[in-house]
């Protein structure tokens, strides 16, 4: 997965799941039911999931005929394996993990983008005003397959030479290592570590990958198996409608969405949610300022970028990989 959760997450995952999941008992709703649906998050609940929890709070799931159960991943959760084994119905995956899984012939397809722009970035100390200044500097990476691609793309896109950079594996300690000066920069998420660093010590520079030549790809995508989509398209449509209504509500009413997220998920820092949400609200919408729309032209550019920077060996077939069920179809059946 894009983020391997720290061991401590496993200890709290069960507690989070109790307050983060949809009710297991029927709730008031209308329409023809298509049963329950399980959705595994990409990470512990945070501001990026505001639309999911808004949907649960307003019972958009039961109104659309499903009883949605949200699952919080643990340290050993492999969402792709869970999907393939049929133990879960849907999962939020990082787009790079989806591409890698597809190259390994996993029959997983994306049906709904959660965000319309990359969350990946390189965050540098106050003295670094351009990524090209990272030549011959020490930069921390997590070890995820996409890290080198993001770093190389940003540095080369600014006129620098990524081959001169000294990369060290720092895991997910970007905030601590940047604050301590152990590294001059690190790969991280602008909506997470970027916001945290600015709150702790203003002055850090965030270089977003789409500002240096990468296409504006959707970082997080709701996925399912091709078989599940063929055999039960009604459930997929119900889920897409549910999440779309939830995110539309959060986009229009961010303060209320934040309140509903914090009410259902214990332990969140409301001030951090409030700091992260404004930037994420902008990332939720794409073509026509709508949530949940795949831009196939941009995805074709992303696929070429994905192969060019070595995340996958072959250019992904976006028409087979992405199959929107609530809007315009890219044309091919899921494979």
Domain ranges of the chain: 7-116+217-321, 120-212
Q: What is the DSSP letter of 125?
A: -
Q: How many H helices and E strands in the chain?
A: 14, 10
Single out the residue of 96, 70, 90, 82 nearest to residue 1, CA to CA: 96
The C-alpha atoms of residue 54 and residue 242 are separated, in whole angstroms, by 10
CA distance 310 to 205: 26
63-114: per-residue pLDDT in tens?
A: 999 999 999 998 777 999 999 999 999 999 999 999 999 999 999 999 999 9
Average pLDDT over residues 4-24: 40
**3-state class (DSSP) for residue 37:** strand
**Mean pLDDT, residues 176-191:** 98
Question: Mean of the per-residue pLDDT values for the chain?
Answer: 89
The CATH number fitting domain 120-212, selected from 3.40.50.720, 3.40.190.10, 2.40.170.20, 3.40.120.10: 3.40.190.10
- Residue-level pLDDT at 200: 96
Q: Can you read off the two tokens belonging to residue 139?
A: 């930069």
Spell out the residues 6+ positions from residue 53 whose beta carbon is closer than 8 angstroms to its own: 20, 45, 70, 246, 257, 260, 261, 264, 265
Instruction: Report the CATH superfamily, name and number, of domain 7-116+217-321.
Output: Periplasmic binding protein-like II (3.40.190.10)
Do 7-116+217-321 and 120-212 come out as alike in CATH topology?
A: yes
Yes or no: say if 73 and 79 are a contact pair by the CB < 8 Å rule.
yes
Q: What average pLDDT does this structure show over 301-309?
A: 97
How far apart (Å, rounded) are the C-alpha atoms in residues 128 and 185? Answer: 8
Query: How do residues 190-233 score in pLDDT, each as one tens digit?
Result: 999 999 999 999 999 999 999 999 999 999 999 999 999 999 99
Q: Can you read off the two tokens belonging to residue 137?
A: 């500097």
CA quadruple 308, 294, 234, 14: dihedral, nearest 10 = 70
**pTM, entire model:** 0.88
């Amino acid at each position: 997965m894009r983020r391997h959760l720290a061991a401590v997450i496993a200890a709290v995952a069960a507690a989070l799941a109790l307050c983060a999941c949809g009710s297991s008992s029927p709730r008031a709703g209308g329409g023809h039911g298509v049963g329950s649906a399980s959705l595994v998050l990409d990470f512990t609940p945070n501001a990026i999931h505001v639309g999911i929890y808004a949907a649960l709070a307003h019972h958009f799931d039961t109104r659309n005929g499903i009883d949605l159960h949200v699952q919080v991943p643990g340290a050993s959760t492999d969402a792709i394996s869970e999907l393939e084994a049929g133990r879960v119905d849907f999962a939020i995956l990082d787009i790079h993990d989806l591409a890698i899984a597809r190259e390994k012939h996993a029959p997983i397809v994306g049906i709904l983008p959660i965000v319309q722009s990359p969350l990946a970035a390189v965050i540098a100390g106050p003295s670094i005003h351009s990524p090209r200044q990272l030549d011959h500097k020490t930069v921390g990476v997590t070890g995820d397959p996409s890290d080198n691609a993001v770093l190389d793309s940003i540095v080369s896109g600014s006129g620098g030479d990524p081959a001169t950079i000294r990369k060290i594996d720092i895991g997910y300690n970007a905030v601590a290592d940047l604050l301590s000066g152990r590294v001059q920069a690190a790969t991280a998420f602008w909506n997470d570590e970027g916001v945290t660093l600015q709150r702790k010590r203003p002055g850090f520079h965030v270089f977003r990958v789409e500002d240096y030549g990468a296409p504006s790809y959707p970082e997080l995508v709701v996925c399912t198996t091709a078989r599940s989509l063929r055999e039960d398209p009604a459930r997929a449509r119900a889920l897409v409608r549910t999440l779309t209504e939830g995110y539309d509500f959060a986009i229009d009413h961010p303060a209320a969405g934040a309140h509903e997220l914090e009410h259902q998920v214990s332990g969140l820092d409301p001030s951090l949610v409030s700091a992260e949400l404004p930037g994420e609200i902008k990332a939720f919408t794409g073509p026509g300022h709508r949530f949940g729309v795949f831009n196939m032209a941009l995805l074709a550019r992303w696929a070429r970028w994905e192969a060019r920077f070595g995340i996958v060996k072959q250019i992904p077939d976006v028409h087979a990989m992405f199959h929107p069920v609530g809007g315009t179809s890219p044309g091919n059946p899921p494979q």
